[in-house]
Amino acid sequence: MSDFSFKILATDNKARCGEISTPRGKIRTPAFMPVGTAATVKAMYPEQVRGTGADVLLGNTYHLMLRPGAERVERLGGLHKFMDWKYPILTDSGGFQVMSLANLRKLDENGVTFRSHIDGVAHELTPERSIDIQIKLDSDIIMQLDECIKLPAPKEEIKRAMELSLRWAERSKNAFNSDMAKSKGRSLFGIVQGGDDANLRLLSAKGLADIGFHGYSIGGLAVGEPQEVMFKVLEETIPALPHDKPHYLMGVGKPDDILGGIERGIDMFDCVHPTRAGRHGRVYTRLGSINLKNSRHKDDIRPLDEQSNNENCTRFSRAYLHHLVKSQEILGAMILSQINLAYYAELTAGARDAIVKGKFEEFAATTRENWEKGDLPPL
């Protein structure tokens, strides 16, 4: 039925190195997925994104359903053709952005109604409609609609949202299965909710495993809680997920979140952080992170990282990058987005290699040490 498959190539303690197969190509895990919100990874050509080492992109159902619209993308040949990206695309369900961006939203058992933040037009998103949209976008990896709440939150509220998400998981699976022809080759991921409550997380994970999905996402994290809470939830939740399926930590994060997630058994990540931070002057390399807006860089003739394989890290001085950022030049956003995505890809590639060699712990220690000591001090 499905051309989707996942195999684990190596494990090292809880860390896993694997490979997801899809009809549009392989995804090496642990994988970081750049976010292409509105059918573009901001400030980058698709081949530049690919060039950073990305195997898969994330597309946002909420943004795309509002503009240009799912039916339009379908008529135009699907999201891959629309944006000229030939490789796998994972789409979220739209639920997260409805909660964070849309106006006048009303949630009930059936789904959620809301008004577009762009033009105020009313829309409805149900588990079935979300699957429908994601198929129209021609997504390779589809997410169930869930309800994601901010932390901290009262236990009742977390429980209610988790149980609703579980019922929506079942409806999503039914919708996905209802048209085998359209679903062929695609995969559907369930989403674990339950906030910071270990028991609710376990109930959610078990409920999803009983329904059965191609992969399991962990949602409702990186929504305001401290990193230690997030890591604790991962430690409590991941053992309850089917071992032989991909584990995807949604919306995470900074490099040290990624490293900590891999350490705890996560296979997939996505986050706007590397591109958004890049547009605002923050850069990540193996030597740590600096904000290029800071005036201490204005006379610094050194490149970001002389030893880097990434030309953008070697060809431009920090003074030039500072100038671009201060002048709000588009080229600054282009360069820093590229550098950040390339570093995220380097980080996950390094992790994969280390896991295969059974040396993940050393890799993580060395990586953190390089970040700490950094070679990005003031002049």
Near a second copy by CB under 8 A: residue from 202, 240, 331, 349: 331
- Hey, which residues does 10 pair with through a beta bridge? 17
Angle at 246 between CA 129 and CA 77, to 5 degrees: 40
User: By CB under 8 A, what part of segment 290-309 binds a second copy?
Assistant: 298-299, 301
Minimum Å distance from CB 320 to a second copy? 5
Q: Based on the shown chain and the rule CB under 8 A, indicate whether residue 3 belongs to the binding site for a second copy.
A: no
Residue 221 binding a second copy, by CB under 8 A = no
In the complex, least distance from residue 43 CB atom to a second copy, rounded to whole angstroms: 4
- The correct pick among 333, 339, 342, 354 for binding a second copy (CB under 8 A) is 333
**Residue 92 annotated in active site:** yes
Count of Cβ atoms closer than 10 Å to residue 307 Cβ: 11
Say which residues have a Cβ less than 8 Å from residue 163's Cβ, sequence separation at least 6.
Answer: none
The residue from 132, 140, 267, 270 that is catalytic is: 270
- Distance, in Å, from the CA atom of 225 to the CA atom of 220, rounded to the nearest integer, reads 10
* Of 168, 179, 140, the residue nearest 59 (C-alpha): 140
Please tell me the distance from the alpha carbon of residue 107 to that of residue 21, in angstroms, as a whole number: 35
Out of 38, 198, 211, 240, the residue judged to bind a second copy by CB under 8 A: 38
Told to check if 330 binds a second copy by CB under 8 A, we report yes
Tell me which DSSP letter residue 117 carries: T
Distance CA 37, CA 96 (A): 13
Minimum Å gap between C-beta 276 and a second copy is 12
Q: Is 229 in the site for a second copy (CB under 8 A)?
A: no
- Position 121 contacts a second copy (CB under 8 A): no
* 184 Cβ contact partners less than 8 Å away, ≥ 6 residues apart: 1, 2, 3
Is 199 a binding residue for a second copy by CB under 8 A? The answer is: no
Residue in 12, 55, 92, 197 annotated catalytic? 92
Residue 330 CB, shortest distance to a second copy, in Å, is: 4
Tokens of 167: 């019922």
β 103-107/215-218 pair status? unpaired
* Token pair 């933040």: residue: 117
Stretch binding a second copy (CB under 8 A), from 64-72, 161-169, 176-184, 222-230: 64-72
Q: Do 38 and 64 meet the contact criterion of CB atoms below 8 Å apart?
A: yes
Length of the chain: 379
From candidates 14, 26, 42, 232, binder to a second copy by CB under 8 A:
42
Is residue 270 annotated as a catalytic residue, yes or no?
yes
Among 5, 23, 75, 358, binds a second copy (CB under 8 A): 75
Beta bridge partners of residue 285, listed in sequence order: 288
What positions carry a catalytic annotation? 92, 270
Tell me which residues touch a second copy (CB under 8 A).
38-40, 42-45, 67-68, 72, 75-77, 82-84, 298-299, 301, 315-317, 319-320, 323-324, 326-327, 329-331, 333-334
